Amino acid sequence: MAITDRQNPSAETKKKKSLFRLFPFWQSRTTISSSSPSSTQNQPGRNRNRNTDVSKPSSALSISSVARSILPARRRLRLDPSSYLYFPYEPGKQVRSAIKLKNTSKSHTAFKFQTTAPKSCYMRPPGGVLAPGESVFATVFKFVEHPENNEKQQLNQKSKAKFKIMSLKVKPGVEFVPELFDEQKDQVTVERVLRVIFLDAERPSAALEKLKRQLDEAEAAVEERKKPLPETGPRVVGEGLVIDEWKERREKYLARQQVEAIDSSS
């Protein structure tokens, strides 16, 4: 009898295993029910975490800044040339280059030049404001130093000097001042960083011919800006003849006074 009593527990375990195989959901239900108290105890903590997450300041405020740094900025200007500034290579002289800027946006845009070599380079104009569709020629001046150890400069090669062109959306009527770009740094767009390439001034090339043509157009634009604005007060008739209406009426009035005085005396 003792032996049969010892074997009974093993028989019961076998029956339970067989029942688990037949009804596996019963075991999962028991495990769920056994773990439910602990899970319910953890739920308030989770709710508290959710509440604290809601109470924390949202990180959406920084999404715009992150997106601005990742996404490419929308360009407002079209540059010609678009990647390089070409200069004739003349050591010991100040040479010139030219670039055309056109506002392709639908708003007024301010532009500004910056260079890594301010001692040997400067721009004219250094900045300005362009209306939608307006364009301007800018002239860039650079002093070409003599090569070290009398080594010949390799032409058609990139120079260390760089020029950065920045743009900023402004309201109509705003005049250009360099402080605009310091006050609104977050809204400034870097349009392009231009590298310098020297051209052989004695060897004709398409790039050199285009440079000469753009320099002529830039000089013509400068001369056009120097012309005085048309006057709106007095009217101009013919060359050098200015008619002042007020002066003309005064002279007629004085003439009539003289005629009336002569008639009265006679």
Contacts of 215 (CB under 8 A, 6+ apart): 96, 97, 98, 139
* 77 within 8 A of 129, measured Cβ to Cβ: no
pLDDT tens digits for range 4-48: 444 455 555 555 555 555 555 445 444 444 444 444 444 554 444
pTM given for the model: 0.57
Burial class of residue 22, CB neighbours in 10 A (0-12, 13-18, 19+): exposed
Give the least confident one: 17-31, 161-175, 223-237.
17-31
Name the most confidently modeled range: 43-57, 128-142, 226-240: 128-142
Asked if residue 99 has pLDDT above 70, the reply is yes
pLDDT tens digits for range 75-96: 899 999 999 999 999 989 999 9
Q: Residue 202 corresponds to which tokens in the numbers above? A: 């004695």
pLDDT tens digits for range 46-84: 444 444 444 444 555 555 555 555 555 678 999 999 999
* Domains contained in the chain, CATH given: 77-226 (2.60.40.10)
pLDDT tens digits for range 177-205: 989 999 999 999 999 999 999 999 889 99
Q: Compute the distance between CA of residue 101 and CA of residue 171 in angstroms, rounded to an integer.
A: 19
Look at strands 94-103 and 77-80 and give their pairing: antiparallel
| Amino acid (one-letter) located at 149 | N
- The CA-atom distances, in angstroms, between 46 and each of 32, 33, 35, 39 are 19, 20, 16, 10
